[in-house]
Amino acid sequence: MPGRSSSSSSSSSTGFISFSGIESALSSLKNFQSCISSGMDTASSVALDLVETQTEVSSEFSMDKAMVELAMMDRELTHYVKAVQSAINHVKEERPEKIPDLKLLVEKKFLALQNKNCDTDLQNNAKFVQFKQQLKELKKQ
């Protein structure tokens, strides 16, 4: 995530840069996003079970908080992946004579995305919205 740098091999004589290591790392990060999604499914299931068994309300609040934290992780990971992909695409399209500092380029793009964050983003996360809807429907029963 932010702060970690991936080395890329470059040859100044040919102006060639290989992104295979970075793309492999991105693939791993994307796989981790499915783990976050599974975590949200699990937290949602636990929260619904707590409501169904009429467990105290504070437990429901904890599950709600867990869902928000997972949504934050998902948003941050999504932004980081977009920042890295954007930096790679920029270098591929521009083909600069001097290869820019990829770490710095990614950090700038990541911060730009993070600066657009707001709490409503989390409330609009598809898994969070589904969770709240299921919770609401269960409480009606």
Model-level pTM? 0.74
pLDDT tens for 76-112 read 999 999 999 999 998 888 887 887 888 999 999 999 9
- As given in the structure block, the two tokens for residue 27 are 């693939």
Work out the burial of residue 75: count CB atoms within 10 Å of its CB; fewer than 13 is exposed, 13-18 middle, 19 or more buried. Answer: middle
Per-residue pLDDT, averaged over 23-47, amounts to 89
User: With 50 as the cut, is the pLDDT of residue 12 above it?
Assistant: no
